């Protein structure tokens, strides 16, 4: 009997953990694989609760983050740290997700060792290398090094084809983030105490329409965030809504948003929410206002209209399907679009009931079968 394939999965941020734990669960259950987990520690404090929730303990932790670390310094520390883990464990393949510094450095370290690279959520493109920054370049570079491209949608697969990626290496699997969201929804249904901290807020604003707001992108820093806050203040003048804003962990960004919106009536600023609470907030929301990437997939899965406060998006499928609208950061436009969703029931229903293009919750299983068909 052939030995199990040794798969080293590398992650370092909360979004990576969310989108990779379904794959890690599937690999652990399958005797055809030996699953090894490495955390780079890129976002250690935000990462740990997701791994604990999913019942995962890293086999290796590189702990690369330093206070005030530049992107140069981060990547420079990631490559040898992740490479050292590969030298110890000698995996047949490594799996990375998305477009983080950890994913880029992991793919490059594997390439230096001629280890096959599996790219989960491959093929996302905004077409603008500065939006999102630096992720657009990271994910394009990973595509140049990957051997197996797990594209979440047909459009993502088409983007890879335009870049002359070998067609046989590209497979549409759906998005593992949908697997994770459905998993945590079922978990909270069985164990409601995991998301019980929102009960007081839900009771406080009973009868009002809740709007979930997230804003943290680098390209929105400065004027973009200020414009979003201006729009939120104007919307908060209504007495029939409440806007809930989980603050980003970045201290500078937290201070800016708190200075603009702290004490504003009908606006609640919270600490970063863990995954069960954030999923619960999305479920409670009338609609979502965001510059996040993953939220663009999660909100449509729950039937929540989405206003994307960015100039470009690497997830145009939601816009094309009608679940999302790309509206930029002009305050007047934000207020106009939000007001339409608050006051026009037909407009809200059209977005809420639009087709979700991001998958059916079975992406991890498809990826595992692809791995099994391509043994070491």
- Tell me which architecture the domain covering 197-352 has in CATH: 3-Layer(aba) Sandwich (3.40)
Taking the C-alpha atoms of residue 376 and residue 327, their distance in angstroms, rounded to an integer, is: 46
Burial class (CB in 10 A: 0-12, 13-18, 19+), 162: exposed
Q: Which of 18, 5, 27, 2 is nearest to 275 (CA)?
A: 18
Taking the C-alpha atoms of residue 176 and residue 230, their distance in angstroms, rounded to an integer, is: 35
Q: What are the sequence ranges of the domains in the chain?
A: 5-175+360-373, 197-352
- Residue 68 is predicted with a pLDDT of 80
Q: For each of the chain's 376 residues, which pLDDT tens digit applies?
A: 578 999 999 999 999 999 999 999 999 999 999 999 999 988 878 899 999 999 999 999 998 888 888 999 999 999 999 999 999 999 999 999 999 999 999 999 999 999 999 999 999 999 888 888 899 999 999 999 999 999 999 999 999 999 999 999 999 999 999 999 999 999 999 999 999 999 988 888 999 999 999 987 666 567 888 899 999 999 999 999 999 999 876 666 777 888 888 888 899 999 889 999 999 999 999 999 998 888 999 999 999 999 999 988 999 999 999 999 999 999 999 999 999 999 999 999 999 999 889 989 999 999 999 999 877 6
- Strand 287-290 relative to strand 267-270, pairing: unpaired
- Tell me which architecture the domain covering 5-175+360-373 has in CATH: 3-Layer(aba) Sandwich (3.40)
CA angle 287, 292, 297 (to 5 degrees): 65
Question: Around Cβ 349, how many Cβ atoms within 10 Å?
Answer: 12
- Residue 1 is predicted with a pLDDT of 59
Q: Quick one: DSSP state of residue 376?
A: -
Tell me the catalytic residues. Answer: 99, 121, 135, 216, 218, 248
- Model-level pTM? 0.91
- Residue 376 is predicted with a pLDDT of 65
Domains 5-175+360-373 and 197-352 share a fold: yes
- Residue 306 is predicted with a pLDDT of 96
Tell me the C-alpha to C-alpha distance, in Å, between residue 105 and each of 10, 78, 206, 258: 10, 6, 47, 34
- Residue 31 is predicted with a pLDDT of 96
């Amino acid at each position: 009997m052939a030995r199990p394939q040794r798969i080293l999965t590398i992650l370092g941020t909360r979004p990576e953990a969310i989108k990779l734990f379904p794959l890690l669960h599937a690999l652990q259950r399958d005797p055809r694989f030996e699953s090894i987990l490495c955390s780079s520690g890129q976002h250690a404090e935000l990462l740990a609760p997701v791994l604990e929730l999913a019942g995962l303990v890293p086999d290796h932790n590189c702990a690369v983050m330093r206070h005030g670390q530049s992107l140069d310094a981060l990547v420079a520390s990631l490559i040898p740290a992740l490479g050292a883990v590969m030298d110890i464990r000698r995996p047949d393949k490594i799996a990375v997700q998305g477009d983080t510094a950890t994913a880029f450095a992991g793919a490059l370290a594997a390439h230096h060792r001629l280890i096959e690279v599996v790219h989960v959520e491959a093929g996302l493109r905004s077409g603008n290398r500065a939006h999102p920054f630096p992720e657009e370049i990271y994910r394009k570079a990973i595509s140049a090094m990957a051997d197996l491209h797990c594209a979440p949608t047909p459009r993502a697969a088409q983007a890879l084809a335009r870049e002359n990626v070998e067609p046989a290496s590209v497979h549409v699997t759906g998005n593992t983030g949908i697997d994770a969201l459905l998993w945590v929804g079922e978990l909270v249904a069985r164990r409601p105490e995991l998301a019980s901290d929102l009960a007081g807020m839900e009771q406080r604003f009973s009868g009002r329409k809740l709007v979930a707001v997230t804003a943290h992108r680098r390209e929105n820093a400065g004027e973009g965030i200020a414009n979003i806050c201006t729009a939120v203040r104007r919307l908060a003048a209504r007495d029939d809504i409440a806007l809930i804003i989980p603050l980003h962990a970045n201290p500078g960004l937290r201070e800016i948003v708190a200075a603009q919106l702290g004490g504003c009536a009908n606006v609640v600023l919270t600490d970063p929410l863990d995954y069960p609470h954030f999923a619960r907030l999305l479920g409670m929301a009338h609609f979502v206002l965001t510059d996040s990437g993953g939220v663009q997939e999660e909100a449509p899965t729950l039937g929540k209209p989405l206003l994307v406060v960015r100039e470009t998006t690497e997830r145009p499928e939601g816009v094309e399907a009608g679940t999302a609208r790309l509206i930029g950061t002009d305050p007047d436009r934000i207020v106009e679009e939000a007001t339409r969703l608050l006051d026009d029931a037909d407009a809200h229903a059209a977005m809420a009931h639009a087709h979700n293009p991001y998958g059916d919750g079975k992406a991890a299983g498809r990826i595992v079968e692809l791995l099994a068909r391509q043994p070491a």
